[in-house]
Structure formats: structure tokens, C-alpha cells
Amino acid sequence: MRPLVFSSLIFLLAGAALAADPSIDTLSAKSVNRQVSVRFTMAHAFDREETIKGLQSGVPTTLTYVVEIFRDRPRWFDEGIARTRIEVIATFNSLTREYLLNYRRDHKLVRSETFSDLATLQKAMTTVDEPNLFDIGKRPPYKLKVRVKADLMRGWLLYFIPWEFSTRWKAARVASPPEPAAR
């Protein structure tokens, strides 16, 4: 009896280890007219079965993205310029069989949408396109970088302590449009 329980436990732990950890997949930042636009996607956010089950049971599921812009200074401390927090919250309504998505930036509601398809909802939750997110003033954009990380609610420790998981930071240099050629 004990070998069966032990082998079942090892099988479950191995299955959990095979699932890929969520990560920021693509990140790009572009400066136009002293405004920086940021676009990124997150991969493997819904690979765990518990996340899908929690969402479909009506529990609000939140993905929180922390986006920072900073001046990269090699061999010295980076100069932080601005930081914003983007929350994407989805809730399933079992009566209408629809998902409500609330998109907030710095605790202010930006938009609300409803989805009837889970795959479309997942794409909307893991793809962020923020035009004119940061104002860089007179700073040269080629010296700036943007970094992003995501905080995901994962589960409960001892059934009452929420346990959060964060992705690693992903950074990208701010691209600026090419200067017009002199005639």
C-alpha cells in the first residue's frame, strides 16, 4: 500500500514540474514624440489546471503587471523614472456563461469587456499594448529601458494563506524612430 501512495505522490509532483512557469515572452518599447509605448505578452499563464478551474468556478482571477521605465547606467545604480501597475481581472458569470474582464492602470478602471470564449479571454489577459504609457520629457530615448514582471495568484498555503508567484523581470531598450534624412 505504501509504495502505491509514494509512487502516486512522485507522479503528481513530476507532472507539476513539467508544466512551464509563466514568463514575459515578448517585450517592446517605442518612443514617439517623447511618449513611450509598451507592448508585451505573457506565456504559460494558464498552463496550470488549477488556474482554469479557479476562473471557471467564479473566483476572480488577477494578473498584475508591474512596468517600469529607467535610465540604464552601467556599473552604477539605474535611475528610476516612472512605474505603473496594470491589473487584469477576470470573473466568470455562471448565469450568462460569460467572462467579465476589468483592465485597470494604477487602480483606475480603464475598460471592461465581456467574453464568451475562454481562449479569447486568455489572450486578452496575457497581451498588453499600452500606447503613450510613459512621458520621458527631455531624456534621450536611446538611454532608457523598460522592464516588466507579472504577479500571479497561484494558490493557498495551509488553506488560508494566499501564495503568490512572480515572473522574472524582462527588460528591453526603448527604440526611437529613425531621424529623417537631411536633404
Query: What digits encode the pLDDT tens for the residues 93-119?
Result: 989 999 999 999 999 999 999 999 999
pLDDT grade, residue 180 (50/70/90)? Answer: low
Percent share of the chain, pLDDT over 70: 85
pLDDT grade, residue 153 (50/70/90)? Answer: low
- Domain presence at residue 178: no
- Domain presence at residue 109: yes
- Give the pLDDT mean for 1-29: 63
| CB crowding 135-163: b at 16 or more within 10 Å, else e | ebeebebeebbbbbbbbbbbeeeeeeeee
- Give the pLDDT mean for 119-143: 94
- Domain presence at residue 36: yes
- Domain presence at residue 1: no
pLDDT grade, residue 145 (50/70/90)? Answer: very high
- Domain presence at residue 16: no
- Domain presence at residue 149: yes
Q: Report strand pairing: 79-93 vs 144-157.
A: unpaired
- Domain presence at residue 51: yes
Query: Nearest 5°: CA angle at 163, between 12 and 165?
Result: 80
Fill in the amino acid letter for 144.
Answer: L
> Residue 69 belongs to what H/E stretch?
strand 61-71
Q: Give the residue among 123, 100, 97, 125 at the shortest CA–CA distance from 113.
A: 100
- Domain presence at residue 12: no
Q: How many domains does the chain have?
A: 1
pLDDT at 170 over 80: yes
**CA dist., res. 65 & res. 144, Å (int):** 19
Which pLDDT value is given to residue 84? Answer: 97
Q: Would the CA dihedral through 137, 82, 112, 129 be positive or negative?
A: positive
**Whole domain around residue 110: which residue ranges?**
21-173
